[in-house]
Amino acid sequence: MAARKNLLSHPITHALIVGFLRWYRTFAFGTFLFEHDKRFLALLRSDEPVIFGVWHQDLVHTFAYFSRWNPRRKTYPLASASRDGGLAGAAAEGMGFRRAIRGSSARGGGKALLQLTRLLQRDPRASVAVVVDGPRPPARVLKPGILHLAQTSGRPIWLVRTSYAPVKVLSRTWAAFHVPLPGARAVCLADGPIHVPPDLDRAGLEALRLELETRLNDLADRADARVARWRR
């Protein structure tokens, strides 16, 4: 087990993951037939700084969607501080992102949020992508970190879902991870911009957290239902 963990965290493994996913991003996204949210696509093609929020189950392909339409966009992903988070960071880099900021609600979260806050203050063009249900179950329960980041930076939140058909759902993973097949039909739905008032108190932040959780779950359900109709 220790040897396996050391292998997963080795720089060569990181480089192999990045290289493979760069190839996969070019190949797979060249075969997907997308239905776009035109307003969101226009945002991606701009340099407007925002905070993207996605669920864990579609993070790889949604992250790849972000970077495909504007490879020069300065977007930094937040990845877990664990070894698995190192793999997720490598995956994000392979999909076209800048190097990941490491940390999560379970480990190093405060430090990572501080790094991201300073980064956004330092670079007015920088955006951030956050997997809002974090690195551990339960799935599709929104953690509050994205709200604090939006509140301190003043950047708006965009909730995003990409769904595909046909898709392989890895039901044994805690997040029911989605792996679309080559040639899949796809849809992107987005909800934003969502601004977090700088003076919102703890009760207000919790109410907004619950609202955003509901909105992102609704977004995911609508996108999944739309692509499911294409399979009939």
What confidence tens digit (pLDDT) does each residue in 77-104 have? 775 544 544 555 555 555 555 565 544 4
| pLDDT, mean of residues 148-171 | 94
What confidence tens digit (pLDDT) does each residue in 13-28 have? 666 766 666 667 667 7
Burial of 164 (0-12, 13-18, 19+ CB in 10 A): buried
Residue that the structure tokens 């063009």 belong to:
125
Q: Please, are residues 49 and 127 in contact by the beta-carbon 8 Å criterion?
A: yes
Rounded to two decimals, the pTM is 0.82
Choice between 169 and 118, residue whose per-residue pLDDT is larger? 169
Q: Please, are residues 67 and 95 in contact by the beta-carbon 8 Å criterion?
A: yes
All structural domains of the chain with their residue ranges: 2-230
